[in-house]
């Protein structure tokens, strides 16, 4: 059974304080790893897809990396508007479905 574990559950940062969120996974044949951002009361918003170990993607203050066992979402010099829950999901084998972790709730304060 595919498993996705995200850590920490919650993270509080001051504006400008860089950090990383972790997503570790156990799957048979990773086809893709996806990062989403979710604001309270809204649906998840797509951020990145990573397909193979060593791959990196960047968008503004966010950078996602992938190894054979885990992915990191690095947040550089965060701002209060980066506050959200960040979700990680994997697709494995021939299945179309995505399996999600429980997310990391990020709060960035002034």
Partner 1 sequence: DVKVTQSSRYLVKRTGEKVFLECVQDMDHENMFWYRQDPGLGLRLIYFSYDVKMKEKGDIPEGYSVSREKKERFSLILESASTNQTSMYLCASRAHSHAEAFFGQGTRLTVV
When binding is defined by CB under 8 A, the residue of 28, 41, 60, 110 that contacts partner 1 is 41
- The number of beta carbons lying within 10 Å of the beta carbon of residue 91 is 20
Q: Could you give the string, one character per residue 5-34, with x where binding to partner 1 holds by CB under 8 A and - elsewhere?
A: --------------------------xx-x
CA distance 14 to 80: 8
Tell me the closest approach of the beta carbon of residue 29 to partner 1, in angstroms.
Answer: 13
Rounded CA separation 55/63 (Å): 11
- Asked if 64 interacts with partner 1 (CB under 8 A), we say no
Q: Is 46 in the site for partner 1 (CB under 8 A)?
A: yes
Question: Which residues have a Cβ under 8 Å from the Cβ of 104 and sit 6 or more positions away?
Answer: 6, 7, 8, 9, 10, 11, 21, 85, 86
Q: Which is nearer to partner 1, 42 or 68 (CB)?
A: 42
| Residues in contact with partner 1 by the rule CB under 8 A | 31-32, 34, 36, 41-46, 49, 87, 89, 91, 94-103
């Amino acid at each position: 059974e595919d498993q996705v574990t995200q850590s920490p559950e919650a993270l509080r940062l001051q504006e400008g304080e860089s950090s990383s969120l972790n997503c570790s996974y156990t799957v048979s044949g990773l086809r893709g790893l996806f990062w989403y951002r979710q604001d309270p009361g809204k649906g998840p918003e797509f951020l990145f897809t990573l397909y193979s170990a060593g791959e990196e993607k960047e968008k503004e203050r966010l950078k996602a990396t992938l190894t054979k066992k885990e992915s990191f979402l690095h947040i550089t010099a965060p701002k209060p508007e980066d506050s959200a829950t960040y979700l990680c999901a994997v697709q494995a084998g021939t299945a179309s479905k995505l399996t999600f972790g429980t997310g990391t709730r990020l709060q960035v304060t002034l």
